Amino acid sequence: MYHSIGPTANGSVVTEMTTPLLAMGTWLNASGASIYSTRPWWIANADSTPGYTNVRFTTTPDAFYIIALSEPSSGALTTPAPVPIAGNDTVTMLGGTGQALNWTVTDGVLSIEVDSDELAMVEYAWAFQVAYSQ
């Protein structure tokens, strides 16, 4: 259901309206690089393809972003999408510690190792940055 966001007749803004906006602002402060100045990267019907997780992709000339809309489980984010990643590229989780995460591609499936402490640093969506090596 869509709700408009704006002041009441007396000019006040109720908590029910501000809370989601503040939460979105917090997420964008941490993970905005995966949104701002990016372009969508499309995989046709990704959500209905077996083996795909609930992910979205954006890209810039210097990086590729994988945004998980569900919290990764079992210690890794995995996707069979043909993510453009090469051996010297670095993967980090935006809003996390900034430490490089271990990753592998096995039989065409990208797996990014991420522990629960790192995941707990973010809410709502978990954005992973693949920084292309220069």
pLDDT band at 4 (very low <50, low <70, confident <90, very high): low
Cα 36 to Cα 12: distance, rounded to the nearest angstrom: 30
Decide if pLDDT at 109 tops 50: yes
Decide if pLDDT at 94 tops 90: yes
Q: What is the pTM of this model?
A: 0.86
pLDDT band at 52 (very low <50, low <70, confident <90, very high): low
Contact 15, 79 (CB under 8 A): no
Cα distances (Å, whole numbers) of residue 75 to 52, 80, 91, 111: 16, 17, 15, 10
Contact 35, 29 (CB under 8 A): no
CB atoms within 10 A of CB 128: 26
Concatenated DSSP letters of 1-56:
--------TTS---HHHHHHHHHHHHHHHHHGGGTTT-EE---TTGGGSTT--SEE
